[in-house]
Amino acid sequence: MVQKRKVPERKCVVTNEMKPKKELIRVVRNKEGEVFVDPTGKKNGRGAYLTKDLEVIEKAEKTGVLARQLNAEIDSSVYEELKQVVTGAKNE
């Protein structure tokens, strides 16, 4: 019997749903307090996950949930990058 590998799941900070990591985007705050999108999911720092959905990202931007989760200022460029990742992912 082949053991089925456990799919790593993470919680989206906006919807509070557990989803496979591949369906989420990771945003990281490092020790220097810089916040950036982490497409690989492997960078060091405090991570927060968002569902790859434009509505979710816009909601995160409006509610400031990322800033609370990461305890840092989130630059609008971070949201722009997230939106590009999402819209890009849909077009593939």
pLDDT of residue 29: 95
- Is the pLDDT score of 71 beyond 70? yes
Print the domain residue range for 51.
9-91
User: How far is 11 from 14, CA to CA, in rounded Å?
Assistant: 9
pTM of the model: 0.86
Q: What's the CATH code of the domain at 26?
A: 3.30.1230.10
User: How far is 30 from 32, CA to CA, in rounded Å?
Assistant: 5
For residue 27, give both structure tokens: 């945003």
pLDDT of residue 90: 59
* Residue 2 within a domain: no
* Residue 4 within a domain: no
- Total number of domains in the chain: 1
For residue 44, give both structure tokens: 């060091």
For residue 4, give both structure tokens: 């089925």
